[in-house]
Amino acid sequence: RAKNDGGNAYRFFNQEMNEEAQERLAMHFGLRQALEKGEFVLHYQPQIELVGGNLVGVEALIRWNHPELGLVPPGRFIPAAEENGLIVPMGEWVLLEACRQAVRFQKAGLSRLVVAVNLSALQFKRGDIEQSVRLALDESGLAPELLELELTESILIGDTERVLSTVMRLKKKGVKLSIDDFGTGYSSLSYLKRFKVDKLKIDQSFVRNLAHDVEDDAIVRAIIQMGHSLGLRTIAEGVEDQPVMDRLRLYHCDELQGYFISRPIPAAAFIAAYAPSQQAQTS
Ligand code: C2E
Ligand code: MG
Ligand code: MG
Ligand code: MG
């Protein structure tokens, strides 16, 4: 009996694996086609200074505008794209499109706006990230200091010497660097000393309940203090309400990003909401 059950379980498992493999294949094909057909779009989420409320930056976030499914969030396809390597050409497209859009934002009157782009570890391992950045800046005409690259802790941890020299050359070019989801990765802080990053993005898992969770509160406060001691700017992600913003003000966090300010929105909506009005521009 046991043997029989085992056999069934095996067959069942096998069938599951098959479905999974098929799904993966379909996803690979779908993503490749989407890239060719131009089905990806970027949405833009504002980053504002906590004191004064000035708009200082914008994060570009990818979505798949699927003909049947509608807007698919990145959590549903980025992991697959990282698994099959498509994240490399996809990331190149994101860089170029974000830089081009940043120039359009400038022309709409948002002259000093910094555009932040998420990078995947694979773009460092398999892609030529320096060349992708150079191409995006050259083809768009964007000033390097108006581009910010969001790195994850996992990028900075792996293969350090090579990554270090790459990151340093990018930094030399004048682009800004930030660490995304800060606090969730490896707790080695030595890379903060080695990599000359400009900004820490405090992960939203610590920010969301800041006002009601003493541990989150302590962590966020410590990150801001440490960041400032090292001469880094700090931005809190996932700010959803006033009490959180009030705590962050108390701790002198530099910038805010979150639904409390705005969700990520299409470029046209971003311009409508944040660009100085035509009247103001011509007067
Ligand atoms: P991330 O870089 O940490 O981006 C922030 C995510 O939090 C975004 O989700 C944003 O919509 C969401 N968010 C912002 N404010 C709030 C808030 O107040 N409350 C809540 N609940 N969520 C908030 P999104 O756009 O779904 O992106 C998820 C992740 O996908 C990103 O996390 C990033 O890791 C990845 N991603 C997005 N675009 C790209 C891309 O172009 N390339 C790469 N490699 N990864 C990307
Ligand atoms: Mg990010
Ligand atoms: Mg993040
Ligand atoms: Mg992230």
Mean residue pLDDT across the chain: 90
The 10s digit of each residue's pLDDT in 186-205 is: 756 778 888 889 999 999 99
The 10s digit of each residue's pLDDT in 18-64 is: 888 888 888 888 999 999 999 999 999 999 999 999 999 999 999 99
The 10s digit of each residue's pLDDT in 82-94 is: 999 999 999 999 9
202 φψ region: left (φ > 0), alpha (ψ -120 to 50), beta (else): beta
Q: Please say whether the beta carbons of 57 and 113 come within 8 A.
A: yes
**Model pLDDT, residue 250:** 97
Residue 7 has pLDDT above 70, yes or no: no
Cα–Cα separations (whole angstroms), residue 97 to 129, 206, 209, 242, 274: 15, 31, 34, 33, 19
Cα–Cα separations (whole angstroms), residue 213 to 200, 210, 276: 21, 6, 39
**Rounded-to-integer distance, Cα 228 and Cα 219, Å:** 14
What separation in Å is there between the alpha carbon of 204 and the centre of ligand 3?
A: 7
Ligand found nearest the CA of 45:
1
What separation in Å is there between the alpha carbon of 172 and the centre of ligand 2?
A: 22
Residue 120 has pLDDT above 60, yes or no: yes
What separation in Å is there between the alpha carbon of 121 and the centre of ligand 2?
A: 13
Question: Which ipTM did the prediction report?
Answer: 0.98
Choice from 77, 78, 240 to test ligand 1 binding pocket (greatest atom count within 8 A of CB)? 78
**Model pLDDT, residue 189:** 78
**Model pLDDT, residue 150:** 97
Quick check: CB of 47 below 6 Å from ligand 1? Answer: no
Quick check: CB of 127 below 6 Å from ligand 1? Answer: no
Ligand found nearest the CA of 183:
3
The first and second tokens of residue 26, run together, are 């379909």
Choice from 118, 154, 180 to test ligand 1 binding pocket (greatest atom count within 8 A of CB)? 118
The 10s digit of each residue's pLDDT in 262-279 is: 999 999 999 999 999 755
Ligand 1, atom 3: closest residue by C-alpha: 181
**Model pLDDT, residue 283:** 42
Quick check: CB of 75 below 6 Å from ligand 1? Answer: yes
**What average pLDDT does this structure show over 168-184?**
94
What separation in Å is there between the alpha carbon of 181 and the centre of ligand 4?
A: 6
The 10s digit of each residue's pLDDT in 240-268 is: 999 999 999 999 999 999 999 999 999 99
- Rounded to two decimals, what is the model's pTM? 0.92
Atom of ligand 1 nearest to the CA of 240: 18
